[in-house]
Chains A and B, each alone.
Chain A
Amino acid sequence: DGGITQSPKYLFRKEGQNVTLSCEQNLNHDAMYWYRQDPGQGLRLIYYSQIVNDFQKGDIAEGYSVSREKKESFPLTVTSAQKNPTAFYLCASSRIGIGGYNEQFFGPGTRLTVL
């Protein structure tokens, strides 16, 4: 089955540690995205990438970093510079087409708790 895989589902880390969240897709999508979800705030875009080895900051990129070495993979690192890292993180992917809009498909999410 085609889809988006995020691992792990739950992640616990001590304050001050960097942590990397995995996102893999086998939909052959060019674009991938990372969102952060907090209660009562909806989803906010952290980073996105439309092509391998290139990515752009979203609305809340501070304290996060990403890489896109393969089309299928878009890992997110939550660094110690992120002041409030505890949140639910969602990865998404989409095709890229000329004109129109391409639906974003979402993974199941990773809940990060920093102790």
Chain B
Amino acid sequence: AQSVTQPDIHITVSEGASLELRCNYSYGATPYLFWYVQSPGQGLQLLLKYFSGDTLVQGIKGFEAEFKRSQSSFNLRKPSVHWSDAAEYFCAVAPTNFGNEKLTFGTGTRLTIIP
């Protein structure tokens, strides 16, 4: 079975600073990879996804993520964070040989932005 690890429970960064959120996965092959964002008390919004091809993917709100097969990682980055980026971020994976129901989430990283 696939699994996802987000090693950082909580990260605090200054507004305008760069951001990197870590995600490692365990799966027998390369899965489909996703990053979602959740504002407090709200549902999840898809930031970006990786299916195949270029390992650097661009998403919404200025986020990008890089897939590194050798490290089984899919880290999320943003060059300069804004106060509105404060939220919880979830990495998720789906196996490529099953249907949509097998989406597996990490435990999340809470991002706090300080002025």
Residues of A within 8 A of B (CB): 4, 31, 33, 40-45, 48, 50, 56, 58, 90, 92, 94, 96, 100-104, 106-109, 111
CB-contacts of B62-115 with A (<8 A): 90, 94, 96, 99-101, 103, 105-108
Shortest distance from the beta carbon of A100 to any chain B beta carbon, whole Å: 7
Stretch at the interface among B13-21, B37-45, B53-61: B37-45
Q: List 25 contacting pairs A-B, 8 Å CB cutoff, sorted by A.
A: A31-B101, A33-B101, A40-B9, A40-B107, A40-B108, A42-B4, A42-B90, A42-B105, A42-B108, A43-B44, A43-B90, A45-B101, A48-B100, A48-B101, A50-B99, A90-B43, A92-B44, A96-B100, A101-B49, A101-B96, A104-B103, A106-B43, A108-B41, A109-B41, A111-B41
A42, B32: Cβ atoms closer than 8 Å? no
In the complex, A92→B101 CA distance in Å? 11
Shortest distance from the beta carbon of B96 to any chain A beta carbon, whole Å: 8
Which residue of chain A lies nearest to B107 when distances are taken between CB atoms in the complex? A42
In the complex, A4→B44 CA distance in Å? 12
Q: Chain B interface residue count: which class?
A: 20 to 34
Query: Told that A43-B105, A90-B44, A108-B42 touch, could you supply 10 new A-B pairs with CB distance under 8 A?
Result: A4-B43, A33-B100, A33-B101, A42-B108, A43-B44, A58-B101, A90-B43, A94-B100, A103-B49, A111-B41
Confirm or deny: B46 has a beta carbon within 8 angstroms of a beta carbon on chain A. yes
Q: Kindly list chain A residues whose C-beta atoms are within 8 Å of the C-beta of B44.
A: 43, 90, 92, 106
Confirm or deny: B51 has a beta carbon within 8 angstroms of a beta carbon on chain A. yes
The total of interchain contacts (Cβ-Cβ below 8 angstroms) comes to 58
In the complex, A31→B98 CA distance in Å? 14
Partner of A101, one of B41, B42, B51: B51
- Whether A104 touches B100, Cβ cut-off 8 Å, given contacts A43-B90, A109-B41, is yes
- Whether A107 touches B99, Cβ cut-off 8 Å, given contacts A40-B107, A41-B107, A100-B51, is no
Q: Kindly list chain A residues whose C-beta atoms are within 8 Å of the C-beta of B45.
A: 106
Partner of B43, one of A41, A42, A56, A108: A108
